[in-house]
Amino acid sequence: MPPPRVYKTEAIVLRQRKLGEADKIITLYTPNYGKLEAVAKGVRRPKSRLAGHLEVLTYTSAMLAQGRNLDVVTQAQAVEVFASLREDLHRLSRALYTAELVDRFSPEGAEGYHIFQLLLATLRRLAEGAGADVVVRYFEMQLLNLAGFQPQLHHCLGCQRSLAPVPNCFSPAAGGVLCPSCGSGAVSSRPLSVSGLKVMRLLQKGGFGDVLRVRIGQTLAQEVEFHLRAYLIHVLERDVRSAAFIDRLRREGVVEPAGVAD
Ligand SMILES: [Zn+2]
């Protein structure tokens, strides 16, 4: 549904880029209108009243007016700035990664209530100090669910049989799990341990509280991260085509906190 001529919306700021001398184009994620781009005029001037309310990762309440090309932010009031996140580079880099992933997965104008709530909950969890890796893995799997790209974790995508509780294989190209006989030699297929599959199922279907209750050792955490990353890269390459972001995922796993203040 297109927004009215002047409208108020809650939003999380995903990204900013410079426009002209003093303005910025702000990428917002909103519950009712999904992803929006809007111009924030004069925000690069030192006395701008808007600037502090439109920083990347801020949960803000904004007033927008429809413009000829892009909408214009006329007012903004920060609701949550997640100050503790900004003091910790480790958490900040993960928060920026989640915002970037939402940006890459969301076409402009698609309704985004559930993705908005997921991103907001994720930023709060990261700010409150919950285990950052678990928070991000849960976010990745839930975002895949909401965007319609959930990997198949219950039957073999080769022979369609239910998966036995034995080491199976995970194949991003197949879209999920393959049994040992279908998986051996299949393209991009990697071993998936019994515990790895259990954790991935929990990330997909469980609540965040359920995930927190499970003790996940380092090797298992790395295995799950490896499979989810490979799957995200595959989906982004095939369906979203986000080359620069994929390169960065490949190189370092999380984005660098550059661009927060620019
Ligand atoms: Zn099979």
How confident is the prediction along the chain (262 residues), in pLDDT tens digits per residue? 666 799 999 999 999 999 999 999 999 999 999 999 999 999 999 999 998 999 999 999 999 999 888 999 999 999 999 999 999 888 998 999 999 999 988 876 677 899 999 999 999 999 998 789 999 999 999 999 999 999 999 999 999 999 999 999 999 999 999 999 999 888 889 999 999 999 999 999 999 999 999 999 999 999 999 999 999 999 988 777 666 777 777 776 543 333 333 3
pLDDT score of 3: 66
Q: What is the pLDDT of residue 129?
A: 87
Instruction: Mark the residues whose beta carbon lies below 5 A from ion ligand 1.
Output: 156, 158-159, 179, 182
Output the pLDDT for position 138: 97
* Cβ neighbours around 245 below 10 Å, total: 19
pLDDT at residue 140, as a whole number: 96
Distance 157 CA to ligand 1 centre (A): 6
CA of 177 to the centre of ligand 1 (A): 9
Residue whose pair of structure tokens reads 């928060």 in the numeric block: 95
CA of 163 to the centre of ligand 1 (A): 8
How many angstroms separate the first and last alpha carbons of the chain? Answer: 32
Tell how far the Cα of 228 is from the centroid of ligand 1, in angstroms. Answer: 20
Ligand 1 centroid – CA 225 distance (Å): 23
pLDDT at 257: 39
What's residue 178's pLDDT?
Answer: 97
The mean pLDDT value of the chain amounts to: 90
Give 179's contacts (C-beta < 8 A, 6+ positions apart).
Answer: 156, 158, 159, 161, 163, 164, 168, 169
| pLDDT at 2 (0 to 100) | 66
